[in-house]
Amino acid sequence: MIKSFKHKGLEKFFLDDNRTRINPEHAAKLARILDRLDASVRPQDMNLPGYKLHELSGKEKGTWSVCVTGNWRVTFQFDGADAVAVDYRDYH
């Protein structure tokens, strides 16, 4: 279950389908990613074709990433069986 967000626009999209602070072209894939993440109990549950699941390294070790499109990613951590610090960013 998703417990917390870093990106407030992504949180509004998840809770209310408010697309004002996300790229509207990403909405369909973001919805699929967030639905799956909300049902996940461990990072490996997000290992689906096209998501390119991987753990970040260095100071971001423990943070996981899945691909939205191009350089855009959804990143998250797990605290027990809950996803936390869910973010939406262009990190390349």
Residue 25's CATH number? 3.30.2310.20
The answer to whether residue 78 is domain-embedded is yes
The answer to whether residue 71 is domain-embedded is yes
Q: How many domains does the chain have?
A: 1
Question: Average pLDDT, stretch 19-30?
Answer: 97
The answer to whether residue 2 is domain-embedded is no
Where residue 91 falls among pLDDT bands split at 50, 70, 90? Answer: confident
Where residue 92 falls among pLDDT bands split at 50, 70, 90? Answer: low
Helix/strand/coil for 33: helix
Phi, psi of 74 (to 5 degrees): -105, 125
Tell me whether strands 54-55 and 82-90 are parallel, antiparallel or unpaired. Answer: unpaired
Q: What is the pLDDT of residues 51-86, one digit of tens each?
A: 999 999 999 999 999 999 999 999 999 999 999 999
Question: Average pLDDT, stretch 17-42?
Answer: 98
Domain of residue 73: give its range: 8-90
The answer to whether residue 3 is domain-embedded is no
Q: How far apart are CA 65 and CA 76, in angstroms?
A: 7
Mean pLDDT, the chain, rounded, equals 97
